[in-house]
Amino acid sequence: MNYLLDTHALIWAIKERKKLSPVVIQTLENADNSIFVSAITFWEIALKFSVGKLELRNILPDEFPEASLQMGFELISLSPNESASHYKLISTDHKDPFDRMLIWQAIQRNLIFITKDDRLERYKIAGLKTLW
């Protein structure tokens, strides 16, 4: 199976594994699964860190890509087509632009989105599949 990590899931996978659900831990440890991390996630970490909305201990934002690779995760970029077609994502009261782009990327690439965010149920009609 193919999965996309939400930003909090990546941070917890690298720094605070105990915050992950047993199902997520099992998924991450299963060598048959491909776990993807989007460049959007690294941008979100860097931005929130720089404005003081994210506290990190013992790791800086620019260390997350290498830490992700060391965990066996695959890094993906945001494609021009994903960017240009983002307007097609259904409108909801969920306004976080990072989450909305990660959701769209997961839908477009048919990836299961690993997230604890329970506000994403409404995106299932648009094709979002989640795991927690």
DSSP state of 32: T
> How many domains is the chain partitioned into structurally?
1
| Per-residue pLDDT reduced to its tens digit, 15-63 | 999 999 999 999 999 999 999 999 999 999 999 999 999 999 899 999 9
| DSSP helix/strand/coil, 20 | coil
pLDDT in tens, 54-90: 999 899 999 999 999 999 999 999 999 999 999 999 9
Positive or negative, the CA dihedral 6, 34, 40, 122 is: negative
Half-sphere exposure for 55 (CA within 13 Å, toward CB): 0
Name the residue range of residue 61's domain.
2-131
CATH number at residue 37: 3.40.50.1010
Return the SS3 of 53: coil
Distance CA 69, CA 121 (A): 30
